[in-house]
Amino acid sequence: MSIIDDERPKKPTTHELGCDLSMLSVDELESRIGLLRQEIARIEAEKEKKAAGRRAADSLFRS
């Protein structure tokens, strides 16, 4: 590893919607896709948790 490699700015490991993707490698794009899939799963889990709470409340007030 050369000194030049150490001085390169590190690319962020997060993804910003709408950011320029042209400078990313295929591996970096795959990594971003993985991050986004994990985030989608996290959001869907939270949505389901909230929907379950709403169903429970609706059920309670309909009785």
Q: What would the pLDDT profile of 22-61 be if each residue is shown by its tens digit?
A: 999 999 999 999 999 999 999 999 999 999 999 999 888 8
Spans of all domains in the chain? 26-63
pLDDT classification of 62: cutoffs 50, 70, 90? confident
Q: Residue 15 carries which DSSP code? A: -
Q: How far apart are CA 26 and CA 11, in angstroms?
A: 14
> In this structure, which amino acid lies at residue 35?
L
Is pLDDT of 4 > 90?
Answer: no
> Tell me, what's the pLDDT at 1?
53
Q: Which long-range contacts (CB under 8 A, 24 or more apart) does 43-52 make?
A: none
Q: What's the one-letter identity of residue 29?
A: L
The model's pTM: 0.66
Residue with more model confidence, 13 or 26: 26
Q: In the predicted model, what is the mean pLDDT of residues 11-26?
A: 87
